[in-house]
Amino acid sequence: MPVIEVTKLHKRYGDLVAVDDVSFAVEAGEIFGVVGPNGAGKTTTVECVVGLRVPDGGGVSVLGLDPRRDAARLRQRVGVQLQESQLPDRLRVAEALQLYASFYRDPADPAGLIDKLGLGDKRNTAYKNLSGGQKQRLSIAMALVGNPKIAILDELTTGLDPQARRDTWGLIEQVRASGVTIVLVTHFMEEAERLCDRVAVIDRGRVVALDSPAGLVSTVVPEQRVRFRPSAPVDDRLLTDLPEVTAVHRTASQVVVTGTGDVLHAVTSVLARNQIIAADLRLEQSTLDDAFVELTGHRPAD
């Protein structure tokens, strides 16, 4: 039973079609990624899901509710972290969370949430004196303070340094473990690959692919490369005869075998049968980044 169902969503601003035709369903308890180049329609899609915008066509159902008609009920149960939303400079961490907690019927304990997000020693710090990572953690806390069933997080780690980004990822995994379904909008493929159970790739207002990160990589960019330094000369044919292998190249000291499927096992087996030892053996697989480029023709950070 999906918790979010988006069906043939269409949204335009004047002549500009922001979302052309987007459909997907998010299952309870998963981390669902929405990725795509800037301007692909990710944020507009999410804004329609949370009821901030009215779709021009298609349907959105969240926890069985209509985001516009049942807005009041939905807002009790969906926590949202919007892209680039800030707080007043002088507002303190604990004040912000207590204020937001007061909006909900069954909120989480703000003090507990502050500790859980590692802001315990910052509870009386004004917003303007927080670091980027601390602001982001506060923002996540505000999305969670209503004890939501679903948390929608838009560009969660943009502008964070690598350490803060990794800390935030750990946090998201904890949140999911507590039973919250998470929709993550991002243009960091590494983030989507690391966190998401499934990813919808949106480009020019359409879903161009929807699968697990590993599934996307293996169907879109199935090629892998095996590199090694052989202990004895290898005849190319030994390798090219393998059904998994598509090409063999050589550098000064290394053999580079390109192939699909279980190419690593095929290559090591045939080398073993011929008493050749593969030193410095490396397997290079494609990443979600490569799949993204293949699907959209954009670098992810474009």
Partner 1 sequence: MHAFRQILRIEARLYLRDLPTLLSTVGLPTLILVVLGLIPALRKPDPNFDGQTFLSYFAPSLLVVTLAMVGVNILPAVLATYRERGVLRRLATTPANPAALLAAQLLLALSGIVTSAVLLILVARLAFGVPLPRDPVGFTVAFVLGTAALLALGLLIAAVARTAKAAQASALPLFLVVMFFGGVYLPRFLLPEFLARIGDYTPPGVQALLDAWTGTPPQPLHLAIMAGVTLAAGATAAKLFRWE
Q: Which helix (H) or strand (E) holds 184?
A: strand 181-186
Q: What is the DSSP string of 101-160?
A: HTTSSS---HHHHHHHTT-GGGTT-BGGGS-HHHHHHHHHHHHHTT--SEEEEESTTTT-
d(C-alpha 267, C-alpha 277), whole Å: 11
Q: Which stretch binds partner 1 (CB under 8 A): 14-22, 26-34, 76-84, 163-171?
A: 76-84
Q: Binding to partner 1 by residue 76, rule CB under 8 A?
A: yes
Residue whose CB is less far from partner 1, 129 or 269: 129
Stretch that binds partner 1, among 12-20, 85-93, 205-213, 251-259 (CB under 8 A): 85-93
CB under 8 A: which stretch of 82-90, 180-188, 235-243, 244-252 binds partner 1? Answer: 82-90
- Distance between CA atoms of 140 and 107, rounded to whole angstroms? 14
Does 75 engage in binding with partner 1 (CB under 8 A)? Answer: yes
Using the rule CB under 8 A, is 111 a contact of partner 1? no
Instruction: Pick from 28, 91, 111, 164 the residue near partner 1 by CB under 8 A.
Output: 91
Contact status: 110 vs partner 1 (CB under 8 A): no
Least Å from the CB of residue 18 to partner 1: 15
Tell me the C-alpha to C-alpha distance, in Å, between residue 299 and each of 37, 192, 194, 293.
Answer: 8, 15, 18, 6
Gap between the Cα atoms of 113 and 297, Å rounded: 41
- Positions touching partner 1 (CB under 8 A) are 50, 52, 72, 75-76, 78, 80, 82, 84-88, 90-91, 95, 99-100, 102-104, 142, 146
